[in-house]
Amino acid sequence: MSLFKLLAAMKGLRGTAFDLFGYSEDRKVERRLIAEYETLLDELLAGLTPANHALAVALAGGPDQIRGYGPVKAASIVTAKAKEADLLARFRSPVEKVAA
């Protein structure tokens, strides 16, 4: 049990240069995904209209689809990013209605 106490005491190192687990590929991918999501939210807020609100909500909910660890998480990232790309293309180029 003392190992868990040691790990708990080192909680303050998370996110610093001394965070040994932060150098793993999974943590690097997670940090990249967070940065991409923040950029996406900035774009959504800048271009939000009543007409594209539903698309913006669907795009903002994309990270909820990323689950699991290791290869399961990698596969869910691929699926979520493909869906995001489709929704983002629709968000960026809305179809204009032609008056009849």
99 by Cβ neighbours in 10 Å (0-12 / 13-18 / 19+) ranks as exposed
Q: Please name the helix (run of DSSP H) or strand (run of DSSP E) that holds residue 36, with its range, or none.
A: helix 25-47
Say what the pLDDT of residue 57 is.
Answer: 96
Helix, strand, coil share (%) of the chain residues, nearest 5: 75, 0, 25
- pTM for the full predicted model: 0.79
For the chain, what are the domain ranges? Answer: 22-92
pLDDT tens series, the chain, 100 aa: 688 888 888 888 888 888 877 888 888 999 999 999 999 999 999 999 999 999 999 999 999 999 999 999 999 999 999 999 999 999 998 775 545 5
